Structure 1
Amino acid sequence: MRTPALLDMVSATQLAHALTAHVARDLGVRSISVKGPVLAEQKLRSPRTSTDADVLVDPDRVEELVEALKRRGWEERFVADVPRILDNHARTLSHSDWPCDIDVHHGFLGFLAPEREVFEALWERRRTMLIAGRPVTCADPVANTAMLALHCLRELHVPRNRAELEELAVAWSGERGDLDVEDLLGLAARTGSVETLSPFLSRIGVDSTLSPFDRAGFAAWTLHTASVEAGRAAAWLAAIADARWRERPRLLAKAILPPAIEYRLEHPEIGPSRLDFTRAVLQRGVNGIRALPLASVQIAQARRLQITASSQRRTDSEPAEAAPRRYGNRTTPSSTSAKGEDRMPKSVAIIGTRGYPSYYGGFETAVRRLAPYLAERGWDVTVYGRDGSTKDDDAGIDRRVTTRVTRGVESKSLSTLTYGLTACVDAVRRKPDVALVMNVANGFWLPLLRGRGIPTAVNVDGIEWDRAKWGRLAKNVFKSGAKATALFGDELIYDAVEIARRWKQDFKRDGTFIPYGGDDPGVLPPVEGFPHRGYILVVARFVPENTIVEFLNAAETLGDRWPVVIVGSSGYGGELDEHARRLASDKENVSWLGHVSDDRKLFSLWQHAGAYFHGHSVGGTNPALVQAMSCGAPTVARDTVYNREVLEDTAVFAQPDADSIIQAITELMEDSARQEQLSAEAYERGRSRYSWEVVCAGYEAVLDAQIAKRKERGR
């Protein structure tokens, strides 16, 4: 008896494409081979080995093709009946003699138009090429661009997907007659993928008006892409929240303890014993619990998009005179409905930061992203700030955001309190629909807002009374402000799970977990004079709890071997600024840049650092750390519960003393493979868990909820 020849993966996937095309042709079923060797042939990505053959099939005839392949020995993989954020778009078949799978698609994720319309649009662009010596129908380069981009964007936390998206963008940067921007936009409009493709369109310099074909579908897409890590937890959470009360116990039980037969079929890697199954389910539970906080934020974002969808459908059904008015690329609601009822935009006052746009710290970074986000969605946004603290000539300023400057005492101990008071007094006079208040020191003034009927959401920041930079009086003020916040704040926002635990323990208050976000800057050139992976970086405000003293002492030694770049200052002058100045003067290898407000320069410093030291010890999720992760900085962090919550195992941890810092940084600087590993892992975690889209949507959901509660109380 002859032993069948074993197929290598490259040959197998090519033959699988050819086989599927042959079977489909015999049946008279229209099919299009997607991704795979076609992309390399069309020079949209480099050749690589795939583990499956993807084919998009006439949606009405998928069953025929699947059954025909089954008759040839292929078997359909089991798919568990569990909640999913994105519907199954393909049926996967495997064969005992083949190392690859065949994915028979009836749709392609990211195209929000009906599957039939999408298939017809792609079928019109069909071409024929030889794969394994057989004619195979495939799509043209423009259609394959859309599909590859959507495939990468769906799971952008995967390093390979990021690399392929960059490679695709490079292909579009050249002069190719078969790649036309207007053609791509036309296909995107027809297939309902303008908004899902928008990150890629932005990368190739295309500014497109964003108008989701299907807002509910885009809600699911956003929910999935925001964090694949929390995707399954978010799906279960959404299903349980949407179910009737009597159905929730059953769903909850299935989420906690899945049926053994189904779970084993879905996860054949689980060992045969009962203990193996128990361990797998326990690990599943641990992963689910870890993902729940982020999943909750994602659900809030999806709810917002779904509410927007309902509002859009109502607007579409109104008479023409009540239709939205378009200004540039933004649609603004008409101020009056067909019945003459006022439809004023919601208004929010943001209190407790240095203003907009400001580059001072974490609160200011959040406001730079949140204020334009809310304005784009029709909110009337007012940001209170301080004179001289903003960049009014900032190229990225959003003129729809109103800024108001009130008076205060400019000193380390009194500025937050005094500016917060005058801002609250001004807000009381103007009476916005809701106030977003930053910092518990402003908790003393919350009764003013409550007395005026203005609901509040308060970002409590960190545990300020634990910080070494404050004296006893200041610590008591912050602790008292926290008590006032717990008493008078309508909703509390925590940027870290550990912060939420402390507030629950100390003040018996629950709230909403919303972390900070980070921007993916793409690939940036190194800052002149600082070569890739050739220098040590620290970015921090000069305060004791940021381990600046210990790092500057360590830099005395580290600067003998490598360049050390110091970004930051105290903002008020003092001993730490003088130490940094003296160090930079005495050591040629040490550069003190002070405060860097140029994001592109700062992001490049993070991206190309050989070791980034993060010494923050209190304060929850630190915005600088999240941004460093999104830039792929190989990180040495002070070992704290907050830093471990954010980084998990994507960094090296050190104790707060010079010797420990020197040892950790030296080991990392001497290990280039470890540098690149930590860079990739930090980037993946940063993009999958800390997305500005999710963060801003979480804030909007909280603000909307407070307005709704106020209206409910007024009935």
Structure 2
Amino acid sequence: MHAATMPWSVGIRFSHAALQALADDHDVDLLHIKGPAVDDTLGGGTRQSIDADVLVRPTHVDRLIAAMHSHGWTTQFLFEDGSAFEHASTLVHPFLAPVDVHRRFPGMDGDPAAAFDRLWNDRHVTDLAGMPCAVPSVTAQRLVLIVHAARGGRLPHADIERSWTSSTPDEREAVIALAANIGAGVALAAGTGRLDEFVGQPGHELWRVLSTGERSRAKIWAARVRSAPTKRAAVRTAIRLIVPNRHRMQTSLGRAPTTREVATAYVASARSGGRELAGFLRSVASERRRR
């Protein structure tokens, strides 16, 4: 006789509920985003997710992760292990679906604490696995879904259709106003076909590259470095995108990588990056000749 297996979608809802219980017990402010937390008018009832996503008040992040560690969760990926945005840490549990704990949301380039306050003040509550969970306003959910789709280069996308194309003029204006308030204007424009309005502004090149689904590592690398807010951040971003990630290697191998394995990864990364960079430079030179 085989043991029953919990449907993945149910496990994700239980993860949301478990995190809300921990948040309530430890005075943590968090908002449930994406997946089953999305409003039904935006397709929430039919969404398929691989994990649960929460956006946490930046000053409460460490408190939440400590509470999760004390209740059976382990950190699979640190914030620094994820994307160049370093926005989320992934935690796993023996019986529940994985969780991405966001300390900021990519594309919301204003102050993370101020952005969270803005979203928190307009929150409402929805039921996830029997637990009342705080979620952003529908306007904020539209913004999150559009920006997330744009970052993945999945244009056109059903989320953009529901959150923007099929919305009313007033709904669009509300999303634009919110995006301007929390520094997400460029990212929103990338997902809504208005990126030309932001030429020359910080982040324009990065979101142009991301939203078009660019696959060239060199082009993405160059755009991320150019979009860094400071020279120090640009150098740090450049190093992170070139140097092999030891923690990800350890997760993949199931053990700490050996010195030889790390060295091999360095060589492979350098060769691959060199080929990509050479191709990128050739294309830039070709474009300049045509001008």
TM over 0.5: yes
Offset of residue 86 of structure 1: 3.5
Offset of residue 42 of structure 1: 3.1
Contact conserved, 1:154 with 1:224, CA < 8 A, in 2? yes
Separation in 2, partners of 1:150, 1:294? 29
- The residue type paired with residue 153 of structure 1 is A
Contact conserved, 2:23 with 2:64, CA < 8 A, in 1? yes
- C-alpha change, 1:263 and 1:122, in structure 2 (3 Å) is closer
DSSP-derived class of the 1:97 partner: coil
Separation in 2, partners of 1:66, 1:8? 25
Show the counterpart of 1:234.
Answer: 221
- List runs of 5+ in structure 1 lacking aligned partners: 297-493, 496-510, 515-698, 704-715
- The residue type paired with residue 97 of structure 1 is F
Separation in 2, partners of 1:284, 1:211? 33
Superposed CA deviations along residues 215-242 of structure 1, whole A, max 9, x for unmatched, are: 4455554565563541697269959xx6
Contact conserved, 1:127 with 1:139, CA < 8 A, in 2? yes
- The residue type paired with residue 13 of structure 1 is I
Percent identity (aligned): 22
Superposed CA deviations along residues 113-145 of structure 1, whole A, max 9, x for unmatched, are: 111121122112211111112111111221111
Show the counterpart of 2:21.
Answer: 22
**TM-score between both structures, scaled by the size of structure 2:** 0.76
Show the counterpart of 2:91.
Answer: 93
Separation in 2, partners of 1:40, 1:276? 46
Contact conserved, 1:155 with 1:228, CA < 8 A, in 2? no
Show the counterpart of 1:635.
Answer: none
Aligned pairs, how many?
A: 281
Show the counterpart of 1:56.
Answer: 55
- The residue type paired with residue 234 of structure 1 is W
DSSP-derived class of the 2:191 partner: helix
Show the counterpart of 1:145.
Answer: 142
- C-alpha change, 1:513 and 1:71, in structure 2 (3 Å) is farther
Separation in 2, partners of 1:41, 1:220? 31
Show the counterpart of 2:160.
Answer: 168
Show the counterpart of 1:186.
Answer: 177
Q: Which has the larger radius of gyration?
A: 1
Superposed CA deviations along residues 358-390 of structure 1, whole A, max 9, x for unmatched, are: xxxxxxxxxxxxxxxxxxxxxxxxxxxxxxxxx
DSSP-derived class of the 1:196 partner: helix
Contact conserved, 1:236 with 1:255, CA < 8 A, in 2? no
Show the counterpart of 2:36.
Answer: 37
Show the counterpart of 2:65.
Answer: 66
DSSP-derived class of the 1:55 partner: strand
Offset of residue 112 of structure 1: 1.5
- The residue type paired with residue 272 of structure 2 is N
Offset of residue 149 of structure 1: 0.7
**Structure 1 segment 239-258 matched on structure 2, within 5 A:** 255=242, 258=244
**Structure 1 segment 214-229 matched on structure 2, within 5 A:** 215-218=201-204, 220-222=206-208, 224-225=210-211, 227=214, 229=216
Show the counterpart of 1:129.
Answer: 126
Offset of residue 284 of structure 1: 3.9
DSSP-derived class of the 2:12 partner: helix
Offset of residue 43 of structure 1: 2.8
Contact conserved, 2:195 with 2:208, CA < 8 A, in 1? no
Separation in 1, partners of 2:168, 2:221? 42
Show the counterpart of 2:253.
Answer: 268
Show the counterpart of 2:9.
Answer: 10
- The residue type paired with residue 264 of structure 1 is M
Contact conserved, 2:209 with 2:220, CA < 8 A, in 1? no
The higher-RCO structure (CA 8 Å, 6+ apart) is 2
- The residue type paired with residue 201 of structure 1 is T
Contact conserved, 1:80 with 1:262, CA < 8 A, in 2? no
Contact conserved, 1:35 with 1:148, CA < 8 A, in 2? yes
Offset of residue 200 of structure 1: 3.2
- The residue type paired with residue 72 of structure 1 is H
DSSP-derived class of the 1:183 partner: helix
1:512 equivalent to 2:285? Answer yes
DSSP-derived class of the 1:110 partner: coil
Show the counterpart of 1:115.
Answer: 112
Contact conserved, 2:210 with 2:220, CA < 8 A, in 1? no
Contact conserved, 2:33 with 2:55, CA < 8 A, in 1? yes
- C-alpha change, 1:21 and 1:67, in structure 2 (3 Å) is same
More helix by share: 2
DSSP-derived class of the 1:512 partner: helix
Contact conserved, 2:31 with 2:120, CA < 8 A, in 1? yes
Contact conserved, 2:55 with 2:103, CA < 8 A, in 1? yes
- The residue type paired with residue 61 of structure 1 is H
- C-alpha change, 1:126 and 1:233, in structure 2 (3 Å) is closer
Superposed CA deviations along residues 458-488 of structure 1, whole A, max 9, x for unmatched, are: xxxxxxxxxxxxxxxxxxxxxxxxxxxxxxx
- C-alpha change, 1:97 and 1:220, in structure 2 (3 Å) is same
DSSP-derived class of the 1:88 partner: coil
- C-alpha change, 1:175 and 1:155, in structure 2 (3 Å) is closer
Superposed CA deviations along residues 173-212 of structure 1, whole A, max 9, x for unmatched, are: 44769x712211211111122222114334xxxx799459
Contact conserved, 1:44 with 1:171, CA < 8 A, in 2? no
Contact conserved, 1:40 with 1:47, CA < 8 A, in 2? no
Contact conserved, 1:29 with 1:65, CA < 8 A, in 2? yes
- C-alpha change, 1:186 and 1:274, in structure 2 (3 Å) is closer
DSSP-derived class of the 1:103 partner: strand
Separation in 2, partners of 1:105, 1:62? 8
**TM-score between both structures, scaled by the size of structure 1:** 0.34
**Structure 1 segment 402-481 matched on structure 2, within 5 A:** none
Separation in 1, partners of 2:215, 2:41? 29
What CA RMSD, in Å, does the superposition of the two structures yield over aligned residues?
A: 4.4
Superposed CA deviations along residues 553-591 of structure 1, whole A, max 9, x for unmatched, are: xxxxxxxxxxxxxxxxxxxxxxxxxxxxxxxxxxxxxxx
Offset of residue 290 of structure 1: 3.5
- The residue type paired with residue 57 of structure 1 is V
